[in-house]
């Protein structure tokens, strides 16, 4: 009963989307209400802790929810002024059919954009719609392209931040002496598990766009692009020849070049489209160019450190007890997307009517994604803080914590059920954590201690880094079915529950199969 009630809110969310065709924003509210009810009335969590967890989740989600909101504004502005249409025509000259566009933009540019902190579920759906994709296909590629290298999103924060948190929790696997060793070992093991998964994602994108026929005609390109994406990441991580923060950028760029030359060779007898990059084209691309340049600049370690500390205590807020949140405004990607969006008004020079249309559309469509991201993060923190209490101004585990903490119940139950086969289930826990929390980063942070304890009680500390890597990959795979991302993608093109349900039904089984593959690979590596 404890295990069932721990996962009950998430089961309701899944059923709501799959069976009743409800949007991610709607089910996020239902999931949050159910989480509050079971946390308070069954898992012995005080109301003030539940409220504090909810507010913390909302604030923690700002890094993603605000990035989504301002990305949507930028895309709507570019579409209304015709800039997006010019870019689309240029893309058509480079990648001439939907399958080629899927691999060039999805596998290549999608991974590059994700690594730079851009939110592809907010950015890409209008682009694919203008390219002639169906709404479901546009949603599909925009979400799936976030997945192959999700661990390297936002300059590898899903790996570096959890590494820091894990060491503060006292997690110290054999052979790991410092944070740098932890990050590199963690990163390398994640990349070892990626090649098969990246290839599957390439095939899945093609299937969503053109069915089995698209796979039959483009399987070689899909295979090569998937291997180049993950292989280049594995090479850099293994040799440690470049900073870990730019692995995703390098891999995305390599994949774009690879796909371009694959199709150029196959179609060398066809007429090449017009690739003239004139002033109008430069102006249309300038918002993206600025976003890329600024993203790279503000993530230079010295610059990032300066920006994160510039406002000091002014951006630190206390939410509950001793729990403080640093808003980190200047060091966050959402702030710079907002800046680029504002500058782009003067670059693209919309008419008064165009700007009015942009604001009307923007105000109408941002609430669904914002609500979904915020409340799913809130659910994650309610689960993590269940059976905790405030004592002497500090949030601490209560006397019921060991028995009633929802995260512990899930982790320990799975460890007890699977025993020595626990490595197989590790990526599914990552999948679950990211589904609830809305991001791989949240999953890796919130479940680090659970994975450590489960590993110690099943296969021993020496296997932890592989199990934690499998957890991360499972969290990356989860982006394909994360309700907040699906709602985000649907909102940018004005569709809703029906299209969201069509997508999640199509990818749910492949997602579970990918996690099973990661689990089997992890078991083989650990036991051999």
Instruction: Name residues whose C-beta falls within 8 Å of residue 270's C-beta, 6 or more positions apart in sequence.
Output: 96
pLDDT at 85: 81
469 or 299: which carries more pLDDT confidence?
Answer: 469
CA atoms within 13 A on the CB side of 175: 9
CA atoms within 13 A on the CB side of 372: 28
426: closest CA among 409, 442, 410? Answer: 410
Distance in angstroms (rounded) separating the CA atoms of residues 442 and 436: 9
pLDDT of 136 > 50? The answer is yes
Lowest mean pLDDT among 6-15, 27-36, 493-502: 493-502
- Reported as a single tens digit per residue, the pLDDT across 183-221 is 899 999 999 999 999 999 999 999 988 889 999 999 999
Instruction: Name residues whose C-beta falls within 8 Å of residue 71's C-beta, 6 or more positions apart in sequence.
Output: 118, 119, 122, 123, 337
pLDDT of 505 > 80? The answer is yes
Cα–chain-centroid distance for residue 60? Answer: 14
- Angle ∠(172,466,480) on CA atoms, nearest 5: 120
User: What mean pLDDT do residues 26-48 have?
Assistant: 92
143: closest CA among 420, 416, 484? Answer: 484
pLDDT of 117 > 70? The answer is no
The Cβ of residue 167 has, within 10 Å, a number of other Cβ atoms equal to 16
pLDDT of 129 > 90? The answer is no
The domain segmentation of the chain, as residue ranges, is 2-527
Lowest mean pLDDT among 141-150, 262-271, 318-327, 380-389: 262-271
Q: What is the mean pLDDT of the chain?
A: 84
pLDDT at 61: 79
User: What mean pLDDT do residues 381-389 have?
Assistant: 89
User: Could you report how far apart the first and last alpha carbons of the chain are, in Å?
Assistant: 36
- Reported as a single tens digit per residue, the pLDDT across 318-339 is 888 888 888 888 877 788 889 9
């Amino acid at each position: 009963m404890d295990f069932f009630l721990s996962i009950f809110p998430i089961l309701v969310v899944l059923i709501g989307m799959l069976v009743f065709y409800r949007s991610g924003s709607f089910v996020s509210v239902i999931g949050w209400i159910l989480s509050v009810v079971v946390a308070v009335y069954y898992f012995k969590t005080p109301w003030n802790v539940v409220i504090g967890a909810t507010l913390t989740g909302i604030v923690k989600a700002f890094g993603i929810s605000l990035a989504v909101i301002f990305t949507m504004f930028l895309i709507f502005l570019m579409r209304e002024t015709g800039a997006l249409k010019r870019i689309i025509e240029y893309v058509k000259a480079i990648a001439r059919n939907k399958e080629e566009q899927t691999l060039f933009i999805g596998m290549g540019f999608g991974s590059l954009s994700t690594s730079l902190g851009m939110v592809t579920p907010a950015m890409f759906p209008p682009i694919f719609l203008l390219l002639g994709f169906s709404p479901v296909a546009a949603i599909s590629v925009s979400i799936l392209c976030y997945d192959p290298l999700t661990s390297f999103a936002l300059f590898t924060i899903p790996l570096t931040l959890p590494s820091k948190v894990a060491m503060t929790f006292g997690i110290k696997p054999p052979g790991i002496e410092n944070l740098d060793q932890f990050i590199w070992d963690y990163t390398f093991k994640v990349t070892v598990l990626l090649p098969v998964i990246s290839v599957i994602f390439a095939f899945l994108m093609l299937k969503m766009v053109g069915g089995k026929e698209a796979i039959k005609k483009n399987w070689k390109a899909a295979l090569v692009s998937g291997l180049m994406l993950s292989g280049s990441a594995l090479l850099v991580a293994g040799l440690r020849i470049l900073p870990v923060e730019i692995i995703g950028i390098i891999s995305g760029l390599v994949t774009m070049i690879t796909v371009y030359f694959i199709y150029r060779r196959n179609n060398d007898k066809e007429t090449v489209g017009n690739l003239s990059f004139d002033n109008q084209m430069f102006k249309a691309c300038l918002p993206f160019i600025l976003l890329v340049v600024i993203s790279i600049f503000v993530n230079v370690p010295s610059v990032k450190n300066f920006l994160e500390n510039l406002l000091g205590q002014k951006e630190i807020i206390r939410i509950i007890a001793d729990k403080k949140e640093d808003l980190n405004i200047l060091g966050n990607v959402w702030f710079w997307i907002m800046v680029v969006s504002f500058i782009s008004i003067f670059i693209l020079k919309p008419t008064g009517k165009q700007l009015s249309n942009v604001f009307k559309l923007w105000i109408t469509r941002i609430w669904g994604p914002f609500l979904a991201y915020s409340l799913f993060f809130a659910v994650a923190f309610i689960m993590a803080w269940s059976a905790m209490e405030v004592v002497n101004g500090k949030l601490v585990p209560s006397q019921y914590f060991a028995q009633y903490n929802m995260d512990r119940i899930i982790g320990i139950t799975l460890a007890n059920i699977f025993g020595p086969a626990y490595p197989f289930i590790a990526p599914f826990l990552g999948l679950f954590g990211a589904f609830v929390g809305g991001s791989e980063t949240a999953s890796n942070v919130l479940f680090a201690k659970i994975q450590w304890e489960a590993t110690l009680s099943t296969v021993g500390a020496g296997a932890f880094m592989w199990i934690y890597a499998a957890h991360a990959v499972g969290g990356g795979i989860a982006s394909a079915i994360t309700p907040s991302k699906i709602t985000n993608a649907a909102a940018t093109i004005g569709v809703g529950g029906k299209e969201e349900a069509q997508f999640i039904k199509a990818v749910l089984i492949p997602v579970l199969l990918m996690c099973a593959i990661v689990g089997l690979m992890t078991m083989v590596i650990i036991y051999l």
